[in-house]
Amino acid sequence: MAEGGTTQALILAGGAGTRLRPVLTELNKPMAPVADRPFLEYLLLQLKKHGVEAVTLCVGYKADLIQSYFGTGEPWGLRLSYSHETDFLGTGGAIKRAESLIQAECFFVLNGDSLFDSDLRTLMRCHRETNALATLALAYVEDTRRYGAVGVDAAGRVVSFVEKGKGHAQGLINAGVYVFSRELLDLIPDRQAVSLEHDILPRLIGRGLYGLPSHGYFVDIGVPDDYLGLRSNPSHLLSAVE
């Protein structure tokens, strides 16, 4: 899939998952079990399915659980590296901390607590064809108010972000899957807590920020009801990585 080198991805897997504590007492959120596998494993399987070869796991809280389970990634046919944050850096800060491990000119970033069954090859191709700085995978959902909505124009340019709890019910959301060009790293301050969603992406409107809508399966395990629902019926998740 990559042009001129290995296809790389970062997975943001450093969160503590405090909202899941009532149902996930000993583990961190990326290691939440679903059908006898950690949720994070499904993200790795998805990346492998779409031709990604090298993955950096941005870890923090209980990082040892992740590293001892996944190791170098050899059993999954992947090359895994780890970027450790000792202080909370937010989603943007975690990406900046991993900068030295990123060799690709364009790379994927995935949230570690959600999965979107979208075509990553198409996402990368659209990113390159538009010469974008950042391209977001956008999911259609029945109620955007929990996540916040994203507006795009006919050319796929992102034109607006609507905060959580506002806007219309049905529409597009940021599905937590991105392609970034390496130049984006220059816009993230070093060694600071930075939110990708609040501090970086809104500033990119009109500066090469695109979105690619898709009707693929989307799941977020950030709250107990959704996580328990996925555990009781993982069929869509399993089919997404086959």
Catalytic residues: 164
DSSP 1-22: --SSS--EEEEEE----GGGTT
Q: How many CA atoms lie within 13 A of 1 on its CB side?
A: 27
Question: Is 108:137 a contact under the CB 8 Å cutoff?
Answer: no
Find, among 178, 103, 91, the residue nearest to 133 by Cα.
Answer: 178
Chain position carrying tokens 């198409």: 122
Distance CA 231, CA 36 (A): 10
